Structure 1
Amino acid sequence: MHPAAHRAPADALRSRPRLIATDLDGTLLHDDKSVSDRTVEALAAAEQAGVEVFFVTGRPARWMGVVSDHVHGHGLAICANGAAVVDLHRGRRIVQVRELAEHDARRVVHALREAAPGVTFAVERTGGFHYEPSYPPVHLDPSAVVAPVEKLLAEAGTDGTGKPFTSQPVLKLLAQHPRLDPDAFLTLARLSAGRYAEITRSSPTALLEISGLGVSKASTLALCCAQRGISADEVVAFGDMPNDLEMLGWAGTSYAMANAHPDVLAATTHRTASNQDDGVAAVIERLLADGH
């Protein structure tokens, strides 16, 4: 028998949804980045029942191998916090881009350099990931250009193959600080640069993720749902970190994981078990059992 899940209020599960939107890290995935057998079965059962499943994540397309084998039906994922829609059936190809304008990215860099001395940057483009020499060496791309961010955002810049950066839209700007508290850094960044871009976080460290104005998991999910004739009331969403807040607020029914950030727990009505205890799968199983 599966471990007991936190049971949701009955009124949250009156009918079967048309779409399930789930974050990955800290939500669908275990801490070791695996997908449990129980979750694989629940995702397959949902799609067999006619319920679409969207993975909605801050991850770039190149990090979607963790779930590529568990895609059914539509095969689409929303990546980079809404900046890219990715076809997981076709080599993780980006099929829609909502870019961060480079002039806005440069404004953010300037504002954060003044507000938070010691900040370092990386740039996620459709063609790859590039970073400053002092950027923390985590998940770094060996083919990346390593240079000051001003060069990485320069109009005449090129990648390691000589391809111009101008042909590769910016999906995200990342800003990391070695000393600041993560939530304090987020607040400071929004105050100093929030007029130029959307700023959020999903890491336990002081790492910010910066997208174009109006770009979020929620806004891209809303566009994808509108294309399918699906309303917010027909969507169930799951998340655990501040970059999930807009999505959880938009969806008709939302669940915070037991391990969620305090802001997520405060902003959502419904709860499920932790990612380690397959909280998403537990709710899907109940939705399919109770729906009609």
Structure 2
Amino acid sequence: MDLSADPSQTAGGIRAPRSHSMNRLLLFDLDGTLLRPKKTISPTNLQALDDCRRAGCGIGIATARYAGSAQAYVCQVQPDVLITSCGALAQVQGKTVYQDGFAPGDVQRVFACIRHICGANTEMTVDTLQGHFWNYDRNQRPPDPAWAKIIWSDFRDFSLYALKICAQVPTDKQVKALQAALPDCDIRCFSGEENWHKITKSTATKANALAPICAACGLTIDRITAFGDDFADLEMLRLAGTGVAMGNGVSAVQAAADVTIGPNDTDAIAAYLHTHILHAE
């Protein structure tokens, strides 16, 4: 793994709070889990997280998002642990403990496969340590201004290390062709994002980030309680000491979890934390 860059100054410029000892780590996916359908965090859930922190728990975010697009939520939650880009980058107290992305030559290899299979003008985005790059028509589809460090590029001479690549892949046939051409990659569609597929190294997962996070935090993996709703969360929930699926989650995640709680449009997270963490016997 190349850990040469300091992600406290890159990948959105996010710093975690000062170190404190923790007796347990609570790890939350964002979209579909901690975030309500309108992309806000319930004040009740947020207060429960703060109560757990005061009780000695560490708080973590584990998201498919680029760090810059999670920045507003990081400012609210102030996590001790931050996993971004589907698990390609993990930080503890602002320091990188896990990084698994594409070297520049591999980025160009992925680009070449996408253009060959999906067309030369395929819409793409790339998460890097320096920012989030995109190639949409700037007049037609401007990026979300709330995102930090978002940069337009045509990707022709792109030479940066990449954490995650996303592309518009319209047909199942093209998805299968990409998967055959890139056997070392994990390629899957984002739930609710028609035709948008994320491409990461097959080893870059939220689950694979847990061991180095545990080492950095001085915890065993059974002291992690992980919350999620989608396929990218599945192995993380299986590996954690306790896996908690959201009621709105896909059936495979609910089946893999130790417990399923209410959906993300309720305060089910707060209810679970009060019962099983704050007031557990």
Is the TM-score greater than 0.5?
Answer: yes
| Distance in 2 between residues matched to 1:226 and 1:47, nearest whole Å | 19
Residue 274 of structure 1, CA deviation: 0.7
Contact kept, 8 Å, 1:59 with 1:81, in 2: the verdict is yes
Match of 1:25 in 2: 31
Find the partner of 1:279 among 268, 277, 280: 268
Partner of 2:87: 82
**1:133-188 deviation digits (Å, cap 9, x = unpaired):** 459655377862331x3433xx4xxxxxxxxx4xxx312111123x336xx87666
3-state DSSP class of the match of 1:64? helix
Unaligned runs of 5+ in 1: 1-16, 156-164
Other-structure match for 2:238: 249
Give 1:80 deviation, angstroms. 1.3
CA distance in 2, matches of 1:34, 1:112: 34
Instruction: State the Cα distance separating 1:114 from its structure 2 match.
Output: 4.1
Which residue in 1 is equivalent to 2:168? 176
Cα 1:119–1:244, aligned 2, differ >3 Å: closer, same or farther? farther
1:194-215 Cα deviation digits (max 9, x unpaired): 32x2334434122222223411
Contact conserved, 1:202 with 1:243, CA < 8 A, in 2?
A: no
Q: Is the 8 A contact 1:82 1:215 kept in 2?
A: yes
Q: Equivalents in 1 of 2:41, 2:104: separation in Å?
A: 36
Partners of 1:143 and 1:234 in 2: how far apart? Answer: 36
Question: Counterpart in 2 of 1:220?
Answer: 209
How far residue 221 of structure 1 moved from its aligned partner, in angstroms, is 2.5
Say yes or no: does 1:122 pair with 2:125.
yes
Q: Which moved more, 1:126-135 or 1:215-224?
A: 126-135
SS of corresponding position for 1:275: coil
Contact 2:129 2:163 in 1 (8 A): yes
Q: Which AA in structure 2 matches 1:83? A: A
AA in 2 matched with 1:77: L
Match of 2:200 in 1: 211
Q: 1:46 to 1:200 in 2, by over 3 A?
A: farther
Task: Using CA pairs under 8 Å that are at least 6 residues apart, name the structure with larger relative contact order, 1 or 2.
Answer: 1
Amino acid at match of 1:132: N
Determine the structure 2 residue equivalent to 1:52.
58
- Deviation digits for residues 23-56 of structure 1, max 9, x if unmatched? 0111001112111111111101111111111111
TM-score by length of 1: 0.74
Q: 1:198 aligns with which of 181, 186, 189?
A: 186
Matched length:
252
Unaligned runs of 5+ in 2: 1-22
Q: Normalized against structure 2, the TM-score is what? A: 0.77
Q: Residue in 2 aligned with 1:107? A: 109
**Secondary structure at 2:248 match in 1:** coil
Identity percentage of aligned residues: 27
Distance 1:79 1:286 in 2: 29
Alpha carbon RMSD of aligned pairs, Å? 2.9
**What is the aligned partner in structure 2 of residue 159 from structure 1?**
none
Shift of 1:107: 2.5
C-alpha displacement at 1:238, in angstroms? 0.9
Distance 2:249 2:200 in 1: 22
1:174–1:45 CA distance, 2 compared to 1 (3 A): same
Matched, 1:233 2:235: no
Take 2:150 and 2:43, find their aligned partners in 1: how far apart are those partners? 34
1:70 is matched with which residue? 76
